Structure 1
């Protein structure tokens, strides 16, 4: 029961945040949109000069930020908010890519599938730390197995993304 409620919660956050990104793109002017995209993930603007670090660093920044808030005893609620911000940028950049004439293949092969998987994995990363009531006290439990599994999965997906950018596009 708890897992299905959590899945519904994550699906609602995903849908609302993605649509919010679409709405934000409609509100911003194109030059301001490009500045924001260049600041957060410049690969969206130009896929020709991408190094491995341009792929790893934005992902690592999101992971570290989510992990920081997910493991903090008082700020763990903000971890889902950080993922929602990531999904909003995902929607924002998706509209940018779809409005470009020649980038439909880029969007369907690279941007959409990889960013969607990253967002799901970041949601799972939010639950790496949990509290358990033992007697009269609460104890924070860090799930090392889940953390290692998520990191390995993120690494595999990141390698797949680098391959897609380098050889498919």
Structure 2
């Protein structure tokens, strides 16, 4: 029961955050949108000169930020907020790519599937550090198996994204 409620909560956060990104894009002017995108993930603006580090560094930054808040005993709620910010940028950049005439292929092969999987895995990463009530006290548990599984999955997806950018697009 708890996992299904958690799944519904994450799905609602994903939908609202993505729509918020779409609305934010409508509010910003195009030059300000491009400036924001260049700060967060410049690959969206230009895929011709992308190195492996341009793919790895933003992903590692999001992972470290989410992991920092997820493993903190008092600030763990902010880890979901960080993922919501990532999803908002995902929606923001999605609208930018869809408004560009030649970017539909880039959006459908590269941006949407990989960013959606990253966001889902970041949500799962929020669950790595949990608390369980043991009698009158609460105990904190760090799930090493789940952490290793998520890191391996993120590594495989990142390698797939690098292949998609390098050879397909």
TM-score of Structure 1 vs Structure 2, range by shorter chain: over 0.9
Q: Which residue of 2 aligns with 1:35?
A: 35
The yes-or-no answer on 1:160 pairing with 2:160 is yes
Shift of 1:71: 0.3
The C-alpha deviation readout for 1:130-156, integer Å capped at 9, x for no partner, is: 011223221110000000000000000
Residue correspondence of structure 1 range 93-104 to structure 2 within 5 A: 93-104=93-104
The yes-or-no answer on 1:105 pairing with 2:105 is yes
Shift of 1:99: 0.3
Partners of 2:40 and 2:150 lie apart in 1 by 23
Moved over 6 A (4+): none
Partners of 1:50 and 1:142 lie apart in 2 by 35
The C-alpha deviation readout for 1:63-98, integer Å capped at 9, x for no partner, is: 000000000000000000000000000000000000
TM-score for the superposition, normalised by structure 1:
0.99
Shift of 1:165: 0.1
Partners of 1:43 and 1:86 lie apart in 2 by 15
Structure 1 unpaired stretches of 5+: none
Structure 2 unpaired stretches of 5+: none
Q: Which residue of 2 aligns with 1:7?
A: 7
The yes-or-no answer on 1:55 pairing with 2:18 is no
Partners of 2:73 and 2:67 lie apart in 1 by 12
Q: Which residue of 2 aligns with 1:122?
A: 122
Q: Which residue of 2 aligns with 1:80?
A: 80
Partners of 2:35 and 2:23 lie apart in 1 by 17
Give 3-state SS (helix, strand or coil) of 1:127's partner. Answer: coil
RMSD: 0.5
Q: Which residue of 1 aligns with 2:144?
A: 144
Give 3-state SS (helix, strand or coil) of 1:141's partner. Answer: strand
Partners of 2:137 and 2:14 lie apart in 1 by 34
Paired positions, count: 169
